[in-house]
Amino acid sequence: MKRLLLLLVFAFTTPAAANTVTPDFTQGTMNSTTTTTIDISRTIETEKYGAAVSTWSGSNVTASGDISDTATTYSIHTAGDPWTLEITTRAAGLIEDTTITETIDQVSTITTLSVFSQ
């Protein structure tokens, strides 16, 4: 039955035909311009956290105890000689906060020219 149906479909159809198309021009040009604009505004925020720090350093200096003890005293080891003392104490938490704001503006233009002839 299917074969008979297919035979009938093909028997009563007509073949497709196309006419010849001849261009009506001999030459020409085409211009195209594309402009793209990009505007970017962004903010970068950075926060750095650190631990608690208690240190001391120096030359020709002697500490009487632990740096964390508030009763600690520092004395010059050899009197008359040069000496240095640096004490650093920092609580734990935010140690640096940076904010960077940027604006980027970009414009690009592309121009094309097509020339054609027959």
pLDDT tens-digit series, residues 74-92: 889 898 899 999 988 889 9
Residue 13 counted as domain residue? no
Residue 17 counted as domain residue? no
Domain count of the fold of the chain: 1
- Compute the average pLDDT of residues 12-19: 73
Predicted TM-score of the model (pTM): 0.41
**What is the spatial distance between Cα 36 and Cα 33, in angstroms, rounded to a whole number?**
10
**What is the spatial distance between Cα 81 and Cα 72, in angstroms, rounded to a whole number?**
22
Residue 68 counted as domain residue? no
- Token pair in block for residue 6: 């297919």
Residue 72 counted as domain residue? no
Q: Hey, what's the torsion of the CAs at 69, 70, 71, 76, to 10 degrees?
A: 90
Host domain of residue 111: 30-58+85-117
